[in-house]
Chain A
Amino acid sequence: MAGTKFSGGIHPRYFRELTRDKPIKTAKLPGKVFIPLSQHTGAPAQPTVKVGDEVKVGTQIGKSDKFISSPVHSSLSGKVVAIENHPHPVLGRSPAIVIEGDGGDEREEFTPRDPEAITPEEARKSIAQAGIVGLGGAAFPTHVKLTPPEGKEIDTFILNGAECEPYLTGDYRIMIEKTDEVVQGLKIIMRTLRVKQAYVGIEKDKAEAIESLSKALRGEEGVEVVPLEVRYPQGAEKQLIKTLLNREVPSGGLPLDVGCVVNNAGTALAVYEAVKFGKPLYERVVTVTGRGVKDPVNLRVRIGTPIGDLLGECGGLWEDTGKVITGGPMMGLAQYSLEVPVIKGTSGILCLEEREVAFQEEMPCIRCARCVDVCPMGLLPTEMRKEIRARRWERLSDSHLLDCMECGCCQYVCPACIPLVHLFKLGKSELRRMKRS
């Protein structure tokens, strides 16, 4: 089963030793949180509170009527002091609800449910109301994933424990520390999807997680823990499905086109908590790491906490920190301000030293084709680069550029230091624009 391999990929240095053995610590309550109304794929939420309103932890403060969207909740008890544009880790600046804490930590009354007895419809409703989205980074609303459209037969659920981005260890810690909760979340998802088969894919370098989940799932029918080869991007949905099931998600398609739904370990935990306790997604685990930060650690963080607060809690930054990234080093986003808040999709805060991110002069492409060899999507990065640089958009039509997931393998290996991902982002937006018009 796990004998199949996806093609391409790279073996970067992982630097997980910085945080992997540090248990998840609960971060200090921030004085103020900045909760963006758009933290997910889909329609932004609209505020359901106004300035001056009192809120508790878990009070819904924004929602949308659109199906592909997700409500947002307060992560502090206190008062709404502003609804304004604020730095956003993904969107630059975006409307956010600012809540000032009252020093207490009073929670909203949540509605607990029995995960064993709940119907799929009720489970979806609980998950939607709790604002659960994929916690790996893309932040796709989970209730949408768990609602396969008519005619799509789902037969397999995959719990993604690969966590293939270097540096990040949040899911690893969750799998070890919250094993039973993750397993409960997995079962809720299986029942909601009405599937009999599930796989838990974990990279081999996370032996402890493989062990604890295997133990917790022993005797569980239809569920198998599969140790995966350590190769980036093993945790990318399409590559993971290929490895576990030898099914290829069609070009432009989604996992549900091959009968699969994939969620990561952190999301499964959030699903469990949403159903069992009615707990909305107002906190998540964030790996604060890198050689730029003095005391790397895994923190349980309230959504909306400015990353500067968290870095302060980790001893602050070293003088020679050159880059602060939300997410991992391969697909994360460089931040211009430490005011940006942690949002639902923030898996890590990575601080790299200046010399680690030193500018490398671009050289001419020598057609060595290393980019071609490592592309997990089977594309020809150097050819696409040529057409994009020449602005020959029409010649990109059969390049499958839109299948590029920006995993960054090509640029990682490029000996000419060509900013390939940057070019592909440009090319993709141009192709989408052409498609629309």
Chain B
Amino acid sequence: MKEKFIITASPHIKGRMNVRSMMRGVIYALIPAIAASIYFYRGRAIDLIVVSVLAALATEAIFQKVRHRKVTLLDGSALVTGLLLALVLPPSLPLGAAVLGAVIAIALGKQIFGGLGYNIFNPALVGRAFLLATFPVAMTTWTHPLSLDAVTTATPQGLWKFQGMATPLFKLFLGQVSGSLGESSAVALLLGGAYLFWKKYIDWRIPLAYFITVFVFGGITHLINPTKFAAPLFQVLVGGFLLGAIFMATDPVTTPLTKRGRWIFGFGSGIILIVIRLWGGLPEGVMYSILLMNMVVPLINRYTRTKPFGVR
């Protein structure tokens, strides 16, 4: 018999979920989208993904070393940020820009707030927002998927918004449309999303609220003026919506704490997205819809506090 036993406060058993397994889960869930991006854009996709991931990891490590903090590359969060950033970049973006985006994402999006768990904004989206401001042309230049000569083209949103052309929905669904690396194939993103739900890595409330809002709000405007406003299914299958709804609007760090708060977050993101798409100067608004809602999360948390048991 043992002389010494472990002494800790209760509870003495623990569920299986942990931060590392959650990050790993997100990475697994991104595999279909990554595979699709490599299928559609070949070497360009690989280059961008590798560069973005390496830059994210290096920035995290250097930042933590300089600040004499423990280097936490193994938690997987910088890897996730690097991957997500690559997936929201246009395939023809110069690699140097991708590096810069990843550095900004980790340094200004995450580490400057204190690292994992303390950031306000989704780091990958901070990186992308920065690039959109610094490389406005490169960030809005799109190439045809599967065409090895980089012929520039417009995204489905661009075609709709500026030329009134609708892209067939099945094409959107399977993914042979131009756009950023990860957004070309809806089915690949949905596969990843299904995995995340199944493993309970993400809460369904935000994506659902986001989806419903975009679908309903988009549907109403479409009914009012079908030639000017796109069909609701188009709104949810096109562009970065699924990528944002499944992988970015569900980032636990930058979304509300309470269930009610998560509904509000999804609803608010949906409204902002539709407003930008329909009336804004940009064809796409997923990034800003999420970043803007990230900003109001503390406020949402404050006004959606849970009702303690036994309090009226």
> Would you list which residues of chain A between 351 and 401 have a CB under 8 Å from chain B?
352, 354, 356-357, 359-360, 363-370, 372-373, 375-380, 382-383, 400
> Would you list which residues of chain A between 242 and 258 have a CB under 8 Å from chain B?
242, 248-253
**B257 proximity list for chain A (CB < 8 A):** 367, 369, 372, 380, 382-383
A323 to B12 Cα, complex, angstroms: 9
A304 within 8 A of B: no
A249 to B309 Cα, complex, angstroms: 8
A418 to B259 Cα, complex, angstroms: 21
A68 within 8 A of B: no
* B11 contact from A248, A356, A412, Cβ within 8 A: A412
* A412 near B19: Cβ-Cβ < 8 Å: no
A383 to B309 Cα, complex, angstroms: 17
A330 within 8 A of B: yes
* A425 near B9: Cβ-Cβ < 8 Å: yes
* A400 near B308: Cβ-Cβ < 8 Å: yes
B14 within 8 A of A: yes
Stretch with Cβ within 8 A of B (4 or more), from A43-51, A54-62, A115-123, A403-411: A403-411
* B9 contact from A250, A376, A421, Cβ within 8 A: A421
Q: Looking across the interface, which residue of chain B has its beta carbon closest to that of A249? A: B310
Q: Looking across the interface, which residue of chain B has its beta carbon closest to that of A336? A: B7
Given A357-B6, A367-B117, A329 contacting B309 (CB threshold 8 A): no
**B115 proximity list for chain A (CB < 8 A):** 364
B-contact bits for A408-424, CB 8 A (1 contact / 0 none): 10011101110101100
A226 within 8 A of B: no
* B19 near A415: Cβ-Cβ < 8 Å: yes
B75 within 8 A of A: yes
> Would you list which residues of chain B between 22 and 42 have a CB under 8 Å from chain A?
22
A-contact bits for B277-312, CB 8 A (1 contact / 0 none): 000000000000000000000000000011111110
* A413 near B13: Cβ-Cβ < 8 Å: no
**A249 proximity list for chain B (CB < 8 A):** 309-310
* B10 near A366: Cβ-Cβ < 8 Å: no
A317 within 8 A of B: yes
B-contact bits for A275-300, CB 8 A (1 contact / 0 none): 00000000000000000000000000
A73 within 8 A of B: no
Interface centre among B5, B12, B310 (most CB of A within 10 A): B12
**A422 proximity list for chain B (CB < 8 A):** 8-9
* B305 near A380: Cβ-Cβ < 8 Å: yes
Given A316-B1, A360-B14, A364-B115, A378 contacting B9 (CB threshold 8 A): no
* A366 near B1: Cβ-Cβ < 8 Å: no
A20 to B310 Cα, complex, angstroms: 34
* B252 near A372: Cβ-Cβ < 8 Å: no
* A412 near B15: Cβ-Cβ < 8 Å: yes
* B309 near A376: Cβ-Cβ < 8 Å: yes
Q: Looking across the interface, which residue of chain B has its beta carbon closest to that of A242? A: B309
A331 within 8 A of B: yes
Given A332-B10, A417-B18, A366 contacting B258 (CB threshold 8 A): no
B220 within 8 A of A: no
Where chain B touches its partner, the secondary structure class is loop
A400 to B2 Cα, complex, angstroms: 41
Given A317-B1, A366-B253, A408-B11, A250 contacting B310 (CB threshold 8 A): yes
Minimum C-beta distance from A286 to chain B (A): 17
**A382 proximity list for chain B (CB < 8 A):** 257
**B11 proximity list for chain A (CB < 8 A):** 329-331, 408, 411-412, 421
**A372 proximity list for chain B (CB < 8 A):** 257-258, 306
B191 within 8 A of A: no
* A379 near B308: Cβ-Cβ < 8 Å: yes
A268 within 8 A of B: no
Minimum C-beta distance from A312 to chain B (A): 9
Q: Looking across the interface, which residue of chain A has its beta carbon closest to that of B256? A: A369
* B252 near A412: Cβ-Cβ < 8 Å: no
**B22 proximity list for chain A (CB < 8 A):** 366, 368, 415
Q: Looking across the interface, which residue of chain A has its beta carbon closest to that of B117? A: A364
* A12 near B118: Cβ-Cβ < 8 Å: no
A366 to B6 Cα, complex, angstroms: 27
Interface centre among B6, B8, B311 (most CB of A within 10 A): B6
B223 within 8 A of A: no
A352 to B11 Cα, complex, angstroms: 12
Minimum C-beta distance from A275 to chain B (A): 33
Q: Looking across the interface, which residue of chain B has its beta carbon closest to that of A324? A: B5
**A350 proximity list for chain B (CB < 8 A):** 12
**A12 proximity list for chain B (CB < 8 A):** 13, 15
Given A363-B18, A366-B19, A412-B13, A378 contacting B2 (CB threshold 8 A): no
Minimum C-beta distance from A284 to chain B (A): 21
B-contact bits for A332-344, CB 8 A (1 contact / 0 none): 1111101000000
Give the top 4 A-B pairs by smallest Cβ distance, nearest first.
A408-B11, A368-B252, A364-B117, A422-B9
Known: A368-B252, A425-B9. 16 other contacts (CB 8 A): A6-B309, A12-B15, A321-B5, A322-B5, A322-B6, A323-B5, A325-B12, A329-B10, A330-B13, A333-B10, A354-B6, A357-B8, A363-B20, A366-B253, A403-B309, A412-B15
What are 22 of the A-B contact pairs (CB < 8 Å)?
A12-B13, A251-B311, A252-B310, A329-B10, A350-B12, A364-B118, A367-B253, A367-B257, A369-B256, A369-B257, A370-B17, A379-B306, A379-B308, A380-B258, A382-B257, A403-B310, A412-B11, A413-B15, A415-B17, A415-B19, A416-B18, A422-B8
